Each structure stands twice: as structure tokens, then as C-alpha cells.
Amino acid sequence: MPPAQATRSLIIPYDDLDNAIETVPLLIKRKILPMAVEFVDLEVIHITEEFLKKKWPCSQGSTHLLIIVDASSEEELDRLSEVVAEVCMEKGALDVYVADSPEKQKNVLDIRSKIYEAIKVHTIEILDIVVPRAEISKHVRKVHEISQKYGIWLPTFGHAADGNVHTHIMKARLENGKIIPVPEEEWKEKIGNVRQELYRDSKTRGGAISGEHGIGIVKKPFLSYTLEEEEIRLM
């Protein structure tokens, strides 16, 4: 097989996170193995657009998939893009935007790569939870419930293909698209419960508290949300 020489990014908006996540196994069934499949909430995209003074190519829906495919020729990229678009539309996508030029692709990847920079001033901690792929949408809905319960913004995005979910615990809330700082005293009262409820939900879904970053000093107190007592004792 010749080495891949070209890549292409596709943005696919959905109104329903379940449909977005369920697209992934359908792509694999069609023998499409993307370089990357990420899901991202449109709210955080809008914040990043404002931060960079750039425009994301699509404003439909509430959840977007970013799918990057690679191939050894433009013809093969066209074929892969057509299959991806077909599968996504069959699964309820609202549209498919293809970044089919270097300029469009750079714009998409620039915005995606700067999401953290756009929100980091209010970010206290980035969780690295991993859940089975079939549980992603349920876990993200629980994140939204916890966010509303405590009045703390928890922007969440991650890998639709492997279940790695990055929830950002913010010292802020989001109101009408604007980031509003949360007072120190209020935040300190809530942060412990927020973190515990997120970890607890990951455990009930057969997940773990870390998928990529590993267990260090910060996560050590929460090992019981991933391992049984006997496993911890033997470490």
C-alpha cells in the first residue's frame, strides 16, 4: 500500500449526539479508517471563533464531528469523502462540509487546535475520562446535567472512535454565549462534588478516570473510581 500523501478534513453537524457517535462504527463497517474522529460542542467552537476572529465553516446543529481522512491521491480522498458523507447523512447529519483546499483545511485545524487556548484562562482542570464508545453520549449528557446542577461550565469534547472524553472544569459559567467568572468561594464549595460526580458516572458506565494522561498525584485520590480496593492495595 503506498504511503498516504494527502489529508482532508470534514465537518459534520448533528442535532443529536447519539447519531454523531453512532456514525463511527458505520464508517468502520464500510472500511473507512479515519486518521481522527473527534466530537465537539458548538458552544466551545463559538468561543474559539471569537477568540481567534476566525469562522468555523458550519454553524448548524449542536454537536459536530471532525473527521480527518488520508490517502495517497486526490482521487482516493474524493472517494473516501463521498463515503463518509453518505454514511453521515444516512445517520442524521444535517450537512457535510468538506475542507477541500489547503486554506480551508488550515482554517479548520487552526480553530480546532486553539480551543484550549481560547478557554484556558478559566480552566482549572482537564479530565481524561474514558468510557466505552456506546456510553459516550450518555456520559456527555450527564456532564451537562452536572453543569446545570452546579452552575459551572464543563465544556466537553473528545475522541468519538475510542471513548476518550475531555471535560474541562471551569471556574466560570456560560450565559448566552458569554463566559462569566464564578466567585472563588462559590467555586471552592462546588469543585469537589463536580469532580466526584463526573468520575462516579464514568465508573457506572464501565469507564476509567484516565484514558491518555495516566494516574498521577492529582488523580491518585480517585483511584477507587477505576480500580477495586484489592487492586489498589497490591500496587
Cell (9 digits) for 119: 478557554
Q: Is the dihedral of CA 97, 98, 99, 100 positive or negative?
A: negative
Element (H, E) at 124: strand 123-126
Closest of 96, 37, 101 to residue 69, by C-alpha: 37
Closest of 71, 83, 65 to residue 8, by C-alpha: 71
Q: Sorting pLDDT into bands at 50, 70 and 90, what band is 151? A: very high
Spell out a b/e string for 114-137, using b for 16 or more CB atoms within 10 Å of the CB, else e: bbeebbeebbeeebbbbbebebbb
Beta-strand pair 36-41/6-14: unpaired
Cell (9 digits) for 51: 477568540
The tens digit of pLDDT for each residue in 47-79 reads: 999 999 999 999 999 999 999 999 999 999 999
Q: Average pLDDT over the chain, rounded to whole?
A: 88
Same fold, 6-113 and 121-234: yes
The tens digit of pLDDT for each residue in 71-82 reads: 999 999 999 999
Quote the pLDDT of residue 220: 54
User: What are the residue ranges of helices labelled H in 42-129?
Assistant: 42-52, 74-90, 102-113, 115-119
Question: For domain 6-113, which CATH number applies: 3.40.50.300, 1.10.150.130, 3.30.70.2190, 1.20.1420.30?
Answer: 3.30.70.2190
Please state the rounded mean pLDDT for residues 136-158.
95
Domain boundaries, the chain: 6-113, 121-234
pLDDT for residue 11 is more than 70:
yes
Quote the pLDDT of residue 232: 45
Q: How many CB atoms lie within 10 A of CB 104?
A: 16
What is the three-class DSSP state of 79? helix
Radius of gyration in angstroms for the set of CA atoms belonging to the chain, rounded to a whole number: 19
The tens digit of pLDDT for each residue in 82-117 reads: 999 999 999 999 999 999 899 999 999 999 999 999
Bridge partners (DSSP) of residue 98 are: 10
Q: How many CB atoms lie within 10 A of CB 222?
A: 18
Quote the pLDDT of residue 207: 86
Which CATH architecture group holds 121-234? 2-Layer Sandwich (3.30)
Closest of 61, 20, 44 to residue 154, by C-alpha: 44
In angstroms, the CA 12 to CA 89 distance is 9
**How many whole angstroms from its chain centre is CA 203?**
19
Q: Sorting pLDDT into bands at 50, 70 and 90, what band is 4? A: low
pLDDT for residue 149 is more than 60:
yes
The tens digit of pLDDT for each residue in 155-199 reads: 999 988 888 899 999 999 999 889 999 999 999 999 989 999 999
